[in-house]
Amino acid sequence: MLKSGSELRSRDLYLNRLIAFQDAEPVKIITGIRRCGKSSLLKLMARHLRNSGVAEEQIIEINFESMEYRGMSADALYRYVKERLPDGKCAYLLFDEIQRVDQWQDAVNSFRVDFDCDIYVTGSNAYLLSSEYATYLAGRSVEIKMLPLSFREFLDFHGYTVRERKSPSGGISKHIYDADGEIYEPKELLEAYLKFGGMPGIADVGLDTDKVLTLLDGIYSTVVVRDILERERRRGQRRITDPDLLRKVIMFLADNIGNITSMTSISNTLVHEKLLDNNRNGNPSVHTIQAYVGALLESYVFYEIKRFDIKGKEYLRTLGKYYIVDIGLRNYLLGFRDMDTGHIIENIVYFELLRRGYDVAIGKVRDKEVDFIATSADEKKYIQVTESMNDPATRERELSPLRGIRDNYEKFVIAGACEHPVTQDGIKIVMLTDFLLDG
């Protein structure tokens, strides 16, 4: 989110969500994988406050990644803030990576009770919102879930602009221009997005493979060391103790995005590779894997998606799927390779739906599966995702589950390639680039 060292690039989607809760009681908790832009979002919020007339003395900003605040206790944090409160005015408290303060929730809850203040915090793992901490802030906090860059944001961060042009036939085509006026087809830049991913820091190093890999290696190492291994030591639970095993679990999940996955299947694979002891009943291995996968979910490296029975209208306890938060990280882990494009596109669409505010599940229609059911407060969409709709057999396979749904909600197929993106049987066929650019 930073450009040229100091210039902030806007993330309006998230900033507007923060502004919507400005001066409201709930503590605003910004969550997401490390280096996805949370620190810059806090800076954007501070800039918004200053631009809207809030005095400098009212804004108290602390980044707990700084050595200046290393080892600060909750009591010390309370005293630090109390000494700096403005007289007779609301204080705006912006705390970055607050999970580094032991018992931070005590201080935040006291601020809320004792002072006239508006509180914003960031954290890089879901432990911030676990049941243990939620009891302190139950009903008094709101989560702003932050993700890496969308395709639209990726283009903006890298200096591209999207322009629409009406074709002679009456349709609308989109073209992308760089700062020099050079024109690009959306598919060209989508390929770069699918290769490098959406971590904001890539805009600083440019679309150079070696530099991007170095950046992603730093992100991966930091997430594993600080947000998983180090956090486990602070919690004193020591469930996650083997960095090599953790990497193997990460590699397995990265290689199986979009596939039905169980703890047993991961365990069996790792046992087969002699990475786990094959205990007599197998249970300890499965429990170990469950702890490691849970840590990866808490650190926002992977997201789990559940299955929903459309006819029975209930979530199923059977197996779900996992998607990786950033395709660039997957390519860093597995190497750049032209395979499994269908699941990569699925991964991209899943996170785009999350960005747009949908709850997302896998749909089950009798013995068939719908890739995504996307629901919000006032709408529902059924979505299939495929690499191509050009082959008649593929076309029929993707349309068939949607035809089996008897309600009147919108039904889509999002395709990486399609010679005829039309509506068929009431089902819209949409190009992936159009879907991503229309958001």
Other residues' Cβ atoms within 10 Å of the Cβ of residue 306: 14
Strands (E) across 267-379 are located at 302-305, 307-309, 314-315, 321-324, 359-365, 368-375
Please tell me the CATH code under which domain 341-437 is placed: 3.40.1350.10
Measured N-to-C along each axis, helices 341-355 and 186-196 cross at an angle, to the nearest 10 degrees, of: 90
Q: Are 5 and 207 in contact (CB under 8 A)?
A: no
pTM of the entire predicted model:
0.91
**C-alpha atoms less than 13 angstroms from C-alpha of 42 in its C-beta half-sphere:** 27
Q: Give the pLDDT confidence score for residue 407 in this predicted structure.
A: 87
Q: Give the pLDDT confidence score for residue 280 in this predicted structure.
A: 45
Rounded average pLDDT over 128-132? 56
DSSP, res 335: -
Residue 23, SS3 per DSSP: coil
Query: Residue 194, exposed/middle/buried by CB under 10 A (0-12, 13-18, 19+)?
Result: buried
How does the average pLDDT of the chain come out, rounded?
Answer: 87
Q: How far apart are CA 215 and CA 193, in angstroms?
A: 15
Q: How far apart are CA 338 and CA 201, in angstroms?
A: 24
pLDDT digits (tens, 9 = 90+) for 169-209: 767 778 899 999 999 999 999 999 999 999 999 999 999 99
pLDDT range class, residue 313, cuts 50, 70, 90: low
Residue 405, SS3 per DSSP: coil
Locate 313 and state its tokens.
């209208």
Q: In the chain, which segments carry CATH 3.40.1350.10?
A: 341-437
Backbone dihedral angles phi then psi of residue 96, each to the nearest 5 degrees: -100, 130
Task: Render 156-189 in DSSP notation, one character per residue.
Answer: HHTT-EEEEEE-TTS-EEEEEE-TT--EE-HHHH
- Give the residue with greater pLDDT, 374 vs 139: 374
Return the percentage of the chain with pLDDT > 90, whole number.
Answer: 62
pLDDT digits (tens, 9 = 90+) for 345-383: 999 999 999 999 999 998 877 778 899 999 999 899 999
pLDDT digits (tens, 9 = 90+) for 406-423: 888 999 999 999 877 777
pLDDT digits (tens, 9 = 90+) for 320-347: 899 999 999 999 999 987 678 999 999 9
pLDDT range class, residue 2, cuts 50, 70, 90: very low
Q: In the chain, which segments carry CATH 3.40.50.300?
A: 2-145
Rounded average pLDDT over 30-56? 96
Tell me which fold the domain 2-145 belongs to. Answer: Rossmann fold (3.40.50)
Residues listed for the chain: 439
Q: How far apart are CA 283 and CA 289, in angstroms?
A: 10
For 327: left if phi > 0, alpha if psi spans -120 to 50, otherwise beta; the answer is: alpha
Locate 108 and state its tokens.
């935040």
